[in-house]
Amino acid sequence: MRPLIFSDDKDHEREWVPGDPRTAEEAFLEFVEQHRDVDNASCGIEDEENEEALLLLFGAGVICRTKGTRNSSAEYRFVTNDGDHWSRHRRGVDPHESPYRR
């Protein structure tokens, strides 16, 4: 396991490191609980070493997975409360770009 960075769209950040008494999942859920608000629409988990990240877009019900900084790719998954989902995969995109733009 490698260090992870948790962040949100209000520029809050917290680093989790292996050996922390909490699991990465517990630490991330705590971060989300502390920072999620009506005007805070997203939280992310970044593995800088592997150039991978997950971004949770709460209002849109979308999870975005990004890989790489050069020749990057992003996969967007829309998730409903019923567990239904669809996904869209794009290469060479800015991970901050809307998944709905063509």
pTM exceeds 0.85 for this model: no
User: What are the residue ranges spanned by the domains of the chain?
Assistant: 4-91
- Give residue 54's pLDDT: 94
- Give residue 100's pLDDT: 42
φ/ψ of residue 51, rounded to 5:
55, 50
- Give residue 80's pLDDT: 76
Q: Which residue, chain included where needed, has tokens 């502390």?
A: 34
- What separation in angstroms does the CA of 26 have from each of 30, 39, 40, 102? 6, 23, 20, 36
Amino acid at residue number 40: N
pLDDT tens series, the chain, 102 aa: 799 999 999 999 999 999 999 999 999 999 999 998 878 889 999 999 999 999 999 888 889 999 987 778 988 888 877 766 566 655 555 555 544 443
Q: Are 85 and 43 in contact (CB under 8 A)?
A: no
Nearest to 98 by CA among 67, 64, 72: 64
Tokens of 80: 């409903």
